[in-house]
């Protein structure tokens, strides 16, 4: 009799084990299911930030190659700050590797205290700022900005 | 049998949980790996992106250094700056702090040792991972300069002495202060001295013979000398210099009137430039080793202090009366090359006055230089032009002073290349 009771208790334990196992699995799947897309999203976002930063850097390199004289004589004719619509690196518009990506360039004259002067005088120094923006799936969106100074020099 | 079966069943109990726990462990490991990858990716990508911000700022610092040295050879070493380092901030979303550090050092270029100004530009940006820095180093050295004659006076056509002019050496030695004309040399003054050779292609006024000082070996007086190649301004040098001085200052006229700090001439002036007379012949402007480009005329009523090159597309004049002076630091350290590209008989009308010393050169390859004096001023340097007319009683001196290191040809600085750190 005592033996029978013990067996019944053991049988009940299997059910509890199974329920616990199911709960554990559900919990694990829920946590994993929540983590995986978030992590995948984060990885995609990081990759896109990399791409954006590289695009900005390539754009700045192209402007540096363009040189101060060309920037100053053609781009800044009518003001101290202009948004350029053509790019020496052809990156503006929609860079293929960035989802819904755009690259925008702002060029400002700088005076010798590194501030934008009130008038459009030729100061021999421009600040070029490039911002790449993208919008992927879900939270995968953002922008990255790089800036540099291009100085009049031979 | 039953006992055996029960034993077997009892042995399977707990297997489901165990398997589940193993599966959960696997899932946890996978999840943890995914999270780790995401975090590492964020860290790496973030650091890379911020590092690119810092790198572009460091390159901005290098650009600033090269450009500033072309404006001013004494950049970062001049009074008023905090010694050989300079820190400034560039505002904006991707801005940061840039620190420039200057050292003078020697590098080997094509097997030759060259002294350069070496600027290290370190930029730091703030990031969620802490400050991120990048370093760029740029070497700035002398670019080429125009080839001037070794003659103290040299004319493409005619050299005319009309006064009591002495062409001397700074150490008063009898040789070295040579004069030459590809045309003729004439003299109308009462007395004078040339401590060197006098040579011309188409003749020398007989009066000139009497003023050539004796020397061993004897100075040459040759009225039938061979023509020498006249040093035109190298077009490439002119283009480079114009590019260096491309920082334009608009306006039809710019006037310098001294003050504290003394205003510095730099870049390009699109109109005329006037240097005003100051009390006690104090300087009204200074030049700090760069190239200054003037599209109009340069009128010098007062003193320009410093060393550098002033290129004038128009005329260089000083008033015909008064006490206008050109130059000059009494210590004789000033060293200015005046170039007029103007083609005409009045490219430079220069009056030296008083007992002031001027150290530098006047150069008008396409025009004439008319040099007059009031008093007995000394010009340490040279005059080179199409025609030269010298009047009054100036001393034109071939500078051999050891303590001044002789005449240093003004040039300008350019980047000799840059590299990314760490160093």
pLDDT digits (tens, 9 = 90+) for B371-384: 888 777 888 888 99
Of residues B49 and B10, more confidence is placed in: B49
Residues of chain A with C-beta less than 8 angstroms from the C-beta of B21: 21, 24
Indicate the residue of A24, A42, A72 with minimum beta-carbon distance to B20.
A24
pLDDT for the residue numbered B294: 92
B28 CB-near residues (< 8 Å, 6+ apart): A28
Structure tokens at B30: 């996978």
Give the separation between CA B159 and CA B102, rounded to whole angstroms: 46
pLDDT band at A88 (very low <50, low <70, confident <90, very high): very low
First and final C-alpha spacing in chain A: 104
Q: Is the pLDDT of residue B319 over 80?
A: no
For residue A131, the chain B residues in CB contact (below 8 A) are 93
Half-sphere exposure of B220 (CA within 13 A, CB side): 10
Q: What pLDDT does residue B215 have?
A: 77
Structure confidence at residue B47 as a pLDDT band (50, 70, 90): very high
User: Is the predicted pLDDT of residue B124 greater than 80, yes or no?
Assistant: yes
ipTM: 0.81
Helix (H, G, I), strand (E, B) or coil at B116: strand
Residue A149 banded pLDDT, cuts 50, 70, 90:
very high
Dist. CA B327–CA B330, nearest whole Å? 9
d(CA B343, CA B362): 15
Question: Could you give phi then psi for residue B302, rounded to 5 degrees?
Answer: -140, -160
Query: For residue A87, what pLDDT is reported?
Result: 47
Residue A144: enclosing H or E segment and its boundaries? strand A141-151
**Per the confidence metrics, is the pTM higher than 0.90?**
no
CA A146/CA A128 separation, integer angstroms: 8
Which residues in B209-221 are b (16+ Cβ under 10 Å) and which e?
eebbbeeeeebeb
Q: Which of A42, A131, A152 sits opposite B41 (nearest CB)?
A: A42
Q: Does residue B415 contact residue B393 with C-beta atoms inside 8 Å?
A: no
Least confident range of A64-78, B176-190, B365-379: A64-78
Q: Inspect the interface and report whether the beta carbons of A153 and B21 lie closer than 8 Å.
A: no
In three-state secondary structure terms, B259 is coil
Residues B259, B235 contacting (CB under 8 angstroms): no
H-helix or E-strand spanning residue B34: helix B15-71
* CB < 8 Å from A in window 46-75 of B: 46, 48-49, 52-53, 55-57, 59-60, 63-64, 66-68, 70-71
Q: Can you tell me the distance from the alpha carbon of A110 to that of A125, in angstroms, rounded to the nearest whole number?
A: 6
| Chain A nearest-CA residue for B56 | A148
pLDDT recorded at residue B355: 63
Higher confidence at residue B343 or residue B401?
A: B343
Per-residue DSSP letter, B407: P
Q: How many CA atoms lie within 13 A of B140 on its CB side?
A: 30
**For residues A5-16, average pLDDT:** 63
Facing residue for B41 by CB, picked from A46, A69, A129: A46
Interface size between A and B, measured as CB pairs under 8 A: 162
The reply to whether residue B95 touches residue A54, judged by beta carbons under 8 angstroms, is: no
State yes or no: pLDDT of B200 exceeds 90: yes
Chain A residues whose beta carbon lies within 8 Å of the beta carbon of residue B414? 153-154
Q: Is the preceding omega at residue A64 within 30 degrees of 0, hence cis?
A: no
Query: How does residue A9 score in pLDDT terms, banded at 50, 70 and 90?
Result: low
- Nearest Cα to Cα of residue B330 among B308, B350, B348, B354: B354
The SS3 of residue B256 is strand
Q: Considering only residues 40 to 69 of chain A, which have any Cβ-Cβ distance to chain B shorter than 8 Å?
A: 40, 42-43, 46-47, 49-50, 52-54, 56-57, 60, 64, 68-69
Q: Report CB contact under 8 Å: B64, A125.
A: yes
Q: Which of B213-227, B234-248, B336-350, B369-383 has the lowest mean pLDDT?
A: B234-248
B34 CB neighbours in chain A (<8 A) are 35-36, 39-40
Overall size of chain B counted in residues: 423
Residue B40: other Cβ atoms inside 10 A: 12
CA distance B363 to B385: 6
Beta bridge partners of B291: B309
Nearest to A152 among B45, B48, B247 (CB): B247
| Token pair of A18 as six digits | 């199974």
What is the secondary structure of B207-236 as a DSSP string? GGGGGBPP-SSPPPEETTPPP----PPPHH
| Nearest chain B residue (CA) to A32 | B31
- B410 pLDDT higher than 60: no
Place of tokens 């707990």: B14
**pLDDT beyond 70 at B7:** no
Q: What's residue A82's pLDDT?
A: 44
Q: A90 to chain B, minimum CA–CA distance in Å?
A: 20
CB-based contact A17 B16, cutoff 8 Å: yes
- Which of A27, A144, A148 minimises the CB distance to B59? A148
Three-class DSSP category at B193 = strand
Asked if the model's pLDDT at residue A140 lies above 90, the reply is no
| pLDDT confidence tier of residue A80, bands split at 50, 70 and 90 | very low
A113-134 per-position pLDDT tens digit: 888 776 666 778 888 888 888 8
Is the model's pLDDT at B231 over the cut of 80?
no
Average pLDDT in chain B: 81
Identify the pLDDT of residue A152.
77
Q: Looking at the complex, report in whole angstroms how far the Cα of residue A154 sits from the nearest Cα belonging to chain B.
A: 5
For tokens 């003001």, what's the residue? A79
Indicate the average pLDDT of chain A. Answer: 76
Confidence of residue B193 (pLDDT cuts 50, 70, 90): confident
Of the listed ranges A62-66, A148-152, B284-288, B324-328, the one predicted with least confidence: B324-328
Give phi and psi for B241, each to the nearest 5. -65, -40
Helical H segments across B85-138, by residue range: none
CA distances from B151 to B194, B258, B362, B394 (A): 12, 34, 12, 17
Tokens coding B237: 């040098």
The rounded percent of chain A whose pLDDT value lies above 90 is 6
Q: What is the pLDDT of residue B403?
A: 42
Q: What percent of chain B is predicted at pLDDT more than 70? A: 83
**pLDDT score of B16:** 73
User: Please, which pLDDT band fits residue B409 given cuts at 50, 70 and 90?
Assistant: low
Residue B328: predicted pLDDT = 47
B67 to A151: CB separation less than 8 angstroms, yes or no = yes
Contact (Cβ atoms closer than 8 angstroms) between residue B310 and residue B285 = no
Q: Show Cβ contacts of residue B362 under 8 Å, excluding neighbours closer than 6 positions.
A: B316, B338, B348, B350, B369, B371, B381, B382, B383, B384, B385
Question: Are the Cβ atoms of B52 and A57 closer than 8 angstroms?
Answer: yes
Residue B262 has pLDDT above 60, yes or no: yes
| Higher-confidence position of A71 and B82 | A71
Contact B164, B191 (CB under 8 A): yes
- Give the mean pLDDT of B278-282: 78
The answer to whether residue B85 scores a pLDDT higher than 60 is yes
Contacts of B53 in chain A (CB under 8 A): 145-147
pLDDT of residue A105: 83
Check CB contact of A6 with chain B, cutoff 8 Å.
Answer: no
Q: Do A153 and B63 touch (CB under 8 A)?
A: yes
- Which pLDDT does position B321 carry in this prediction? 43
**pLDDT reported for residue B360:** 79
A124 touches chain B (CB under 8 A): yes
What's the pLDDT band for B93 if we cut at 50, 70, 90? confident
What would the DSSP string read from start to end of B6-23? HHHHHHHTTHHHHHHHHH
Q: Tell me the sheet residues that pair with B413.
A: B142
Helix (H) or strand (E) holding B306: strand B303-312
For chain A, the C-alpha Rg in angstroms (whole number) is 30
Closest-CA residue of chain B to A67: B63
């Amino acid at each position: 009799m005592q033996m029978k009771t013990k067996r019944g208790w053991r049988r009940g334990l299997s059910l509890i084990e199974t329920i616990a196992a199911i709960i554990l699995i559900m919990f694990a799947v829920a946590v994993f299911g929540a983590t995986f897309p978030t992590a995948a999203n984060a990885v995609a976002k990081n990759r896109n930030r990399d791409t954006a930063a590289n695009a900005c850097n390539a754009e700045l390199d192209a402007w540096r190659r363009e040189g101060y004289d060309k920037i100053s004589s053609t781009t800044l004719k009518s003001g101290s700050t202009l948004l350029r619509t053509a790019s020496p690196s052809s990156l503006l518009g929609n860079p293929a590797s960035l989802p819904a990506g755009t690259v925008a360039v702002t060029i400002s004259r700088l005076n010798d205290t590194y501030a934008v002067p009130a008038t459009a005088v030729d100061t021999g120094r421009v600040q070029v700022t490039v911002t790449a923006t993208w919008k992927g799936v879900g939270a995968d969106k953002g922008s990255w900005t790089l800036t540099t100074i291009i100085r009049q020099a031979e | 049998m039953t006992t055996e079966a029960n034993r077997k069943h009892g042995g399977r109990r707990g297997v489901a949980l165990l398997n589940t726990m193993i599966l959960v462990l696997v899932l946890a490991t996978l999840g943890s790996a995914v999270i780790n990858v995401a975090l590492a990716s964020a860290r790496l990508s973030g650091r890379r992106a911020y590092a690119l911000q810092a790198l572009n700022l460091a390159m901005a610092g290098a650009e600033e250094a090269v450009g500033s040295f072309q404006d001013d050879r004494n950049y970062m070493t001049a009074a008023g700056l905090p010694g050989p380092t300079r820190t400034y901030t560039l505002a904006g979303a991707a801005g940061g702090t840039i620190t420039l550090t200057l050292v003078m050092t020697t590098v080997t270029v094509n097997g030759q040792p060259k002294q350069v100004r070496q600027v290290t530009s370190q930029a730091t940006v703030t990031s969620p991972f802490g400050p991120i820095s990048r370093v760029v180093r740029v070497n700035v050295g002398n670019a080429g300069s125009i080839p001037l004659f070794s003659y103290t006076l040299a004319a493409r056509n005619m050299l005319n002495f009309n006064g009591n002019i002495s062409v001397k050496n700074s150490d008063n030695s009898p040789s070295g202060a040579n004069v030459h004309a590809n045309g003729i040399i004439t003299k109308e003054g009462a007395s004078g001295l040339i401590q060197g050779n006098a040579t011309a292609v188409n003749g020398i006024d007989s009066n000139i013979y009497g003023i050539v000082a004796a020397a061993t070996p004897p100075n040459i007086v040759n009225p039938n000398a061979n023509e020498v190649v006249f040093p035109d301004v190298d077009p490439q040098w002119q283009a480079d210099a114009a590019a260096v001085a491309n920082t334009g200052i608009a306006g039809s006229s710019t006037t310098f009137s001294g003050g504290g700090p003394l205003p510095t001439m730099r870049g390009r002036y699109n109109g005329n430039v006037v240097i005003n007379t100051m009390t006690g012949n104090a300087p009204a402007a200074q030049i700090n080793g760069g190239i200054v480009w003037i599209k109009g005329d340069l009128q010098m009523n007062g003193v320009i202090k410093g060393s550098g090159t002033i290129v004038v597309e128009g005329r260089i004049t000083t008033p015909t009366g008064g006490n206008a002076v050109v130059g000059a630091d009494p210590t004789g350290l000033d060293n200015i090359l005046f170039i007029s590209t103007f083609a005409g008989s009045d490219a430079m009308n220069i009056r030296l006055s008083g007992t002031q010393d001027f150290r530098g050169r006047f150069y008008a390859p396409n025009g004439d230089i008319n040099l007059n004096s009031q008093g007995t001023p000394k010009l340490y340097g040279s005059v080179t032009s199409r025609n030269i007319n010298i009047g009054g009683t100036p001393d034109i001196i071939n500078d051999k002073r050891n303590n001044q290191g002789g005449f240093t040809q003004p040039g300008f600085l350019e980047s000799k290349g840059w590299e990314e750190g760490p160093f």
